[in-house]
């Protein structure tokens, strides 16, 4: 009989969902999988068959606008979440469903619930909410909350550290793995046919700035980039001749595999998919997120991407960055297949 595994996914944006998919695909053929998250079920159903429980599992960060975290609201909502006795309800659910192992990206509550029942727990994340919250304005006044969060993460039997991770971990043990990434296939010819445009002689760039980043760029300035064509699935209201919106008929990994380079806000999942397809990236400085420190250092060390300063990125002055990025190589520079290594760790813990 297959063992029951519970996999918790942060509902903060879609990056944690996107990173979890390759791991879930590894697990689902060998285990009875329960997914708990605020991410809606239909996004999983198109990729795998698993039990889905719609449930908030963490707070993440609250945003005041497309660029900045609202630290006060984040701490307020986190406090409410911690006081809602969710851990007790989670323990009851874990017992009733005979869960043999908990995996979490990157919620701390289920890690503690599992620990108190003697269920092994694996934390998956290149950072934790403790890392992020500790560096928000007003963190010094939230020592009790941060201590609770620290204790919850310390309950993890193992933290999987994908590439681009922060150095500190609170878990009992750690294991560094390759990028966890969705790998796409090139659909470049299909895109030419769909858009009725020839890509010959053009630099094709896929833009993904996500829920919180697309509202801050002066998109109309991209029209000046005569040798570039831009593709995106972001909701961009501006009409720009060389910027083309694509709908969800075109999967993110396939779009990434079809272009010459990727423009991203520096989110982990987009970077992983870019590198899995051997594509360099251009990105903006992320002063709002502490984990970007690790991403910045990684891009500089491996020379797989270019960071454009804010004063050039948001006005759309990308030409120099694009030229530099096109001279970079990615293949064989970064470890991949982290999802396979996670499956090995699962087997080791359950054996």
| Same domain, yes or no: 132 and 17 | yes
pLDDT for 78 beyond 90 = yes
Residues 144 and 170 placed together within one structural domain of the fold: yes
Confidence bin at 67 (pLDDT 50/70/90): low
Express as a percent the part of the chain with pLDDT over 90.
86
Quick one: pLDDT at residue 216?
Answer: 80
pLDDT value at residue 128:
96
Report the pLDDT averaged over residues 175-190.
97
* Domain identity same for 24 and 173: yes
The span from the CA of 55 to the CA of 153, in Å, is 20
Which pLDDT tens digit goes with each residue over 136-170?
999 999 999 999 999 999 999 999 999 999 998 99
237 within some domain: yes
**pLDDT per residue as tens digits for the range 319-336:** 999 999 999 999 999 999
- Domain match, 160 and 289 both: no
Domain around 213? 188-326
**Residues 36, 168 within the same domain:** yes
- The confidence score (pLDDT) of residue 21 equals 97
Phi, psi of 19 (to 5 degrees): -70, -30
Residue 283 is assigned to a structural domain of this protein: yes
* 157 domain-assigned: yes
Q: Are both 71 and 141 inside the same structural domain? A: yes
Q: How confident is the prediction for the chain on average, in pLDDT? A: 94
User: Do 201 and 222 fall within a single domain?
Assistant: yes
For 40-49, 176-185, 208-217, 320-329, which range has the lowest pLDDT when averaged over its residues?
Answer: 208-217
| Contacts with 144 (C-beta within 8 Å, 6 or more apart), sequence order | none
200 and 76 in a common domain: no
Q: Are 131 and 202 within one domain?
A: no
Task: Count structural domains, the chain.
Answer: 2
Do 249 and 209 share a domain, yes or no?
yes
pLDDT in tens, 81-118: 999 878 999 999 999 999 999 999 999 999 999 999 99
Question: For 264-283, what is each residue's pLDDT tens digit?
Answer: 988 889 999 999 999 999 99
In a domain, 331, yes or no: no
Q: Report which of 279, 285, 288 is spatially closest to residue 266, judged by C-alpha positions.
A: 285
Residues 269 and 140 grouped into a single domain: no
Inform me whether the pLDDT recorded for 303 exceeds 90. yes
Mean pLDDT (whole number) for 178-183: 96
Residue 269 domain-assigned (yes or no)? yes
166 domain-assigned: yes
Q: Do both 11 and 140 map to the same domain?
A: yes
Q: What is the CATH number of the domain that holds 200?
A: 3.40.50.2000
């Amino acid at each position: 009989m297959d063992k029951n595994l519970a996999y918790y996914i942060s509902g903060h944006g879609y990056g944690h969902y996107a990173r979890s998919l390759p791991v879930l695909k590894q697990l689902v053929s060998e285990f009875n999988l329960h997914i708990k998250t605020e991410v809606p079920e239909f996004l999983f159903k198109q990729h795998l068959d698993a039990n889905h429980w719609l449930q908030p599992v963490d707070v993440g960060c609250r945003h005041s606008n497309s660029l900045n975290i609202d630290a006060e609201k984040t701490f307020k909502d986190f406090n409410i979440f911690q006081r809602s006795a969710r851990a007790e309800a989670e323990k009851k659910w874990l017992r009733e469903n005979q869960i043999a192992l908990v995996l979490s990206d990157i919620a701390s509550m289920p890690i503690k619930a599992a620990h108190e029942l003697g269920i092994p727990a694996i934390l998956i994340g290149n950072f934790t909410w403790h890392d992020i919250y500790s560096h928000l304005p007003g963190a010094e006044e939230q020592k009790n909350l941060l201590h609770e969060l620290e204790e919850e993460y310390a309950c993890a039997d193992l933290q999987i550290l994908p590439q681009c991770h922060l150095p500190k971990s609170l878990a009992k043990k750690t294991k560094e793995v390759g990028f966890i990434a969705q790998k796409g296939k090139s659909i470049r010819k299909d895109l030419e046919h769909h858009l009725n445009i020839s890509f010959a002689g053009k630099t094709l760039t896929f833009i993904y700035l996500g829920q919180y980043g697309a509202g801050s760029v002066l998109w109309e300035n991209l029209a000046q980039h005569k040798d570039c064509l831009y593709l995106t699935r972001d909701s961009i209201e501006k009409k720009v001749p060389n910027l083309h919106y694509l709908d969800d008929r075109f999967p993110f990994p396939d779009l990434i595999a079809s272009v010459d380079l990727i423009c991203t806000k520096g989110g982990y999942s987009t970077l992983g998919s870019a590198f899995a397809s051997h594509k360099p990236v251009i990105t903006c400085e992320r002063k709002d997120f502490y984990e970007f420190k690790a991403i910045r250092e990684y891009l500089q060390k491996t020379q797989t991407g270019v960071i454009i300063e804010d004063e050039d990125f948001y006005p759309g002055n990308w030409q120099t960055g694009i030229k530099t990025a096109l001279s970079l190589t990615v293949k064989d520079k970064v470890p991949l297949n982290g999802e396979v290594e996670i499956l090995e760790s699962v087997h080791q813990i359950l054996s």
